Chains A and B, each alone.
Chain A
């Protein structure tokens, strides 16, 4: 045993060369948070431009670049790395493993990301500017995109490699490194949600890679996959993109399900209701996610029979999603509830994600979708799923495990303040978007008809408050990391929360579970 087993290296090399799952988790989480602020800043400019009708602040081309970069940064830079950060920190501690199974690959899969996003962001300064065709980069618009599009393609490839390596690590860790006695059925539900997510990632990231590669060759090497004049088909692009894109949606929400399912039992002091059906529901949702992609394409014109298939399959997703929501409600029912910040965000998730689920069901119905499609109704829908869904679960998880990770309680009053500010301003921002969309406002437009002015103004004001509230989150986290606050106990939360991570000290040693926990401990804590 060398010295390196006792603590981290000093200085920058600790972070550059680290193979420690906790360090890598921290890197992922900080990276995600920085990207969240960058993507959020783009959103602020978008909302400023839309504050009133007319062209005020940015040119229409810059506006398109902002919506494109906002989407790409939030999806690939903020939400996905944040969940990978949680996976790194938590999965070894939850299954009683000393580290991730493939620690050097783990280092590599993180360190690809800063370079991928540096390339993507540098496109702002290139000739012709940043990509301006939306995060969905539909051909042939993207085929004709600015020169920076090729750099965008390179960075997507890098993100894909990073995600696949991260996913392989999760799968191998879960299958091979669980402590004795921890059967798959006893494994924490967060690990389950990530296991399924990892399979989705491995299945669809190569599809995304194919899409960008075909785009690359269409742009530079004379192929015409997506060009009708050369015998190709622009709609083929959408099929390929959404065959990746729909499972991607679940990649961004299944870990959220896992986090919320860990948090609710702790603050209701009850076991998760219907644990087995929760796992089946995750698997069912993941399975269905492969046969619903064309519901993003109902206006492209498809045979009636294909439309019916995709509509019915999409509607079916409401069943397992409903099971999850009902199970969470049943977990809360007759509990002994307390309302610490993680619980507030988890409850906010259950309420607001459900609203996103409702609009999702509405969008599944083709005749109605013809009116909703590509309007602000869709923008409202996916922000209810991704902000009050994925992001709120990330906040909930951060507050929930931060005391464990840092050994210091965050400031509870400020945390609650952060929740209420976020939840209220979120609804002020995004609820009116339902109305705008139904009233006929298309998405991705830099200017709009006068009838949409009132809702847009309300939405913009809400978004500014939401954006500023996140600086409070930054402050709260930094205070906790600097040890400004009460010392956290090992269990952190009252009444014995379940999970092996609470058997470790707060903060945990640099290396934990170097000898696996006993079967008795596993049995007591599942």
Chain B
């Protein structure tokens, strides 16, 4: 039994390292991102836990199946056994999965409760989905703007080479501070969209007439990209999201600049 467990472990490690070496050799991402928020970390950990568990069960079940397929061939003279029920074993394989599920339910429940707790947020950004672009509004800051996809028609048609962030670029990214609890308030103007940035661990439907909430504390400076994740019409595939996380100090400067820019515009129009 001990040996079998070690073998399972070894197989998992082998497969895991094989995949990661292939991935690093080709620059291919094949697994969920660990992301840059406490929530995305917890999601990733839960994902890896359940992946490990199903892999282990898979190795056992498939191992038994493959063993049987090779061992009990009629062509090799196998005679069929006559057993066709065994209450004891049937109870065991009803109860063990149940116990495994309870083990999984604990971290899943904890993470879910944390994910839904939008209290004590330090700022709120209203995100509105439109066919087919996003609108961001920094509540309390008097800043708002549209964020439009920036991939050109020529790139899509293949007339010019595609840029590195093809289909994941916008004209004006959402700028946010790191290490700040940001509350998002989601809504939509026309049909349902879904605002998804994998690295933030946030995916929420934006529903016309209703407000949805989520939150993120981004722990690392960087640019994070995502896409609309709910079919929303013809250009659903062309609704990228870009989030630029900068330090709180830089963010303050950015806010001032936005407001300054706004005042200048107003002064100009008044003049």
Contacts and interface: CB of A to CB of B under 8 A. Distances in A.
B3 interface: no
B63 to A, nearest CB: 10
A113 to B, nearest CB: 27
Interface stretch (B42-50, B175-183, B249-257, B260-268): B42-50
What DSSP secondary structure best describes chain A's contact surface?
A: helix
A270 interface: yes
A335 B235 contact: no
B69 A332 contact: yes
A141 B209 contact: no
Nearest to B237: A445
Contact of B205 (A273, A275, A299, A375): A299
A442 B196 contact: yes
B203 A438 contact: no
Contacts of B202: 370
Contacts of A64: 231, 233-234, 236
A374 B209 contact: no
Interface string A125-150: 00000001110001011001000000
B73 interface: yes
A234 B237 contact: no
Interface stretch (A201-209, A354-362, A421-429): A354-362
A301 B205 contact: yes
A277 B203 CA distance: 39
Interface string B99-121: 00100110011011101100000
Contacts of A370: 43, 115, 201-203
B72 interface: yes
Contact of A375 (B115, B212, B229): B229
A315 B210 contact: no
A373 B202 CA distance: 11
B222 interface: no
B31 interface: yes
Contacts of A55: 156-158
Nearest to A338: B74
Contact of A319 (B75, B98, B186, B194): B98
Interface in B21-42: 26, 28-33, 39-40, 42
Interface string A294-319: 00000111001001100110011011
A273 B85 contact: yes
Contacts of A520: none
A200 to B, nearest CB: 23
B79 interface: yes
A140 B235 CA distance: 16
A271 interface: yes
Contacts of B210: 228, 233-235, 301
B162 A444 contact: no
A347 interface: yes
A312 B102 CA distance: 9
A184 interface: no
Contact of B81 (A323, A335, A449): A335
A374 B229 contact: yes
B57 interface: yes
Contact of B68 (A334, A354, A358, A371): A334
B241 to A, nearest CB: 11
Contacts of A475: none
A439 B31 contact: yes
A115 interface: no
B90 interface: yes
A365 interface: yes
Most chain B C-beta atoms within 10 Å of own C-beta, residue among A53, A366, A371: A371
A367 interface: yes
A234 B209 contact: yes
A368 interface: yes
Contacts of B28: 435, 439, 451, 454-455
A157 interface: no
A114 interface: no
A358 B166 contact: no
A258 B219 CA distance: 51
A419 B28 CA distance: 31
Contacts of B64: 329, 333
B166 A311 contact: no
B190 A440 contact: no
Contact of A138 (B74, B101, B109, B231): B231
Interface string A214-251: 00000000000001110001110000000000000000
Contact of B46 (A326, A368, A444): A368
Contact of A336 (B33, B78, B85): B78
B201 A275 contact: no
Given A319-B97, A371-B47, A53 B167 contact: yes
Most chain B C-beta atoms within 10 Å of own C-beta, residue among A368, A373, A435: A368
Given A140-B191, A315-B104, A368 B234 contact: no
Given A299-B205, A442-B227, 8 more contacts: A141-B232, A274-B85, A319-B101, A333-B64, A358-B58, A367-B115, A440-B198, A444-B231
29 contacts: A53-B166, A54-B155, A54-B156, A54-B157, A60-B234, A60-B237, A138-B231, A140-B192, A300-B207, A301-B205, A307-B116, A311-B112, A316-B101, A319-B94, A329-B64, A330-B86, A334-B80, A336-B72, A337-B68, A337-B78, A365-B46, A367-B108, A368-B108, A370-B201, A374-B229, A435-B31, A444-B236, A445-B236, A449-B166
